[in-house]
Amino acid sequence: MSSKLEPQQAEPLSQDKSAVTVRPIQADDAGLLYAMHQRLSLDSIYYRYLQYRPPTLAELEQVCQLAPERGAGFVATVQQDDERVVGVAYYVREPQEQAPTAELGILVEDQFQGQGIGRRLWQRMQQHALRHTIRKLRVLFHPNNQRVARLVSSSGFAYQATRHSGLSEYLVALGESPRQSASVVA
């Protein structure tokens, strides 16, 4: 997919994986998340939100203030002059599901993609969800987003992949070993 606009140029950062910290999201992270979204390419915004509009500051504040019974989130940060958010992962419980299920969102800043940060965020989310009785994570994404597909398929958990309405959906069964193969249902 090609971007309609040129991505904003970000100043060079240290991309040393060991310099990245993954920690629980905090209420005052909304501004840092908003700044991260301003550095993202349009492709990254589209692949995460399935539209070219990034979330507003008010929408990010809601993510940063999830009540524990509704969900949880983590951010990946680097230290430059100040702390800078370069990745985020969060889940929101789906109250209508019989088995405790949550929808997961994950996003890593472009220049930090492919360095294991998404995997670290994913693993923290899995561990947290399991400790808080979540049994399934639903991941909806654009079919061309191969990074998310690889992240889920290599998670070590069983999952069911479906496609509908032009989207890929993986339902990850936390705590269950993967099956021989995960089928795609159209």
Tokens of residue 151, six digits? 């992240």
Residue 34 maps to a domain: yes
Residue 11 maps to a domain: no
Residue 1 maps to a domain: no
- Largest pairwise CA distance in the chain: 48
Q: How many C-beta neighbours within 10 Å does residue 73 have? A: 25
CATH code of 104's domain: 3.40.630.30
Calpha distance 1→58 (Å, rounded): 28
pLDDT of the residue at 94 = 92
Residue 3 maps to a domain: no
pLDDT of the residue at 118 = 95
pLDDT of the residue at 175 = 81
pLDDT of the residue at 80 = 81
Beta bridge partners of 171: 138, 160
Calpha distance 66→70 (Å, rounded): 6
Domain that holds residue 107: 19-185
Nearest partner of 26 among 66, 54, 83, 82, judged by Cα: 66
pLDDT of the residue at 99 = 80
SS3 64: helix
Q: pLDDT tens track of the chain, all 186 residues?
A: 443 333 333 333 444 555 899 999 999 999 999 999 999 999 999 999 999 999 999 999 999 999 999 999 999 999 988 999 999 999 999 987 778 999 999 999 999 999 999 999 999 999 999 999 999 999 999 999 999 999 998 888 999 999 988 899 999 999 877 653 344 444
Residue 10 maps to a domain: no
Residue 79 maps to a domain: yes
In terms of residues, how long is the chain? 186
Residue 23 maps to a domain: yes
Residues 6+ apart with CB under 8 A from 144: 1, 47
Helices (H), 132-175: 146-153
Tokens of residue 132, six digits? 């808080």
pLDDT of the residue at 28 = 95
Considering its fold, how many domains does the chain have in total? 1
Residue 48 maps to a domain: yes
Tokens of residue 72, six digits? 């949880």
Q: Could you tell me if 149 and 124 are in contact, meaning their C-beta atoms sit under 8 angstroms apart?
A: no
